[in-house]
């Protein structure tokens, strides 16, 4: 067994959240910021879904003995996915309006135009 054996989900979580956060902070293009936000969200979804997993556990059905997987994180992620899709749609609609108003998606150029008004 290697050093990171059994921790694939946690490593993927850290990588996805790191890449998403870096993209949101560093990108000057508004669409790239939305993409970074989506990558960040997927990392959080992965973390929450993997936290509900138990090795050797069965589904949460009442007819039987043994360990059960907690279904609550999975249900919460379904809600979070719907909210994430709605947030992405709203952000992209606002980006379209910003582009129509300023003619660019560059955050620095938009700030210069706003300061010049």
pTM of this prediction? 0.83
What average pLDDT does the segment 40-63 reach? Answer: 81
Own/partner pairs, 97-102, CB within 8 angstroms, 24+ separation: 98/30
pLDDT at site 62: 66
CA distances (Å), origin 69, targets 9, 43, 66: 17, 21, 10
pLDDT at site 64: 64
Q: Does residue 55 have a pLDDT over 90?
A: no
* Spatial contact of 23 and 32, defined as CB atoms under 8 Å apart: yes
Q: Does domain 8-55+68-116 have CATH number 1.20.1090.10?
A: no
Ranges of each domain in the chain: 8-55+68-116
Q: Which of 53-57, 84-88, 101-105 has the lowest mean pLDDT?
A: 53-57
Percent of all residues in the chain with a pLDDT value above 90, rounded to a whole number: 60
């Amino acid at each position: 067994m290697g050093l990171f054996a059994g921790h694939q989900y946690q490593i993927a979580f850290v990588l996805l959240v790191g890449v998403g956060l870096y993209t949101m902070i560093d990108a000057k293009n508004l669409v790239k910021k939305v993409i970074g936000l989506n990558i960040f969200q997927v990392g959080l979804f992965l973390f929450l879904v993997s936290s509900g997993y138990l090795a050797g556990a069965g589904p949460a059905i009442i007819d039987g003995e043994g360990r059960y997987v907690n279904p609550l994180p999975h249900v919460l992620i379904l809600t979070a996915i719907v909210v994430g899709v709605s947030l992405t749609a709203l952000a992209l609609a606002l980006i379209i309006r910003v582009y129509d108003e300023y003619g660019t998606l560059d955050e620095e150029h938009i700030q210069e135009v706003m300061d010049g008004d």
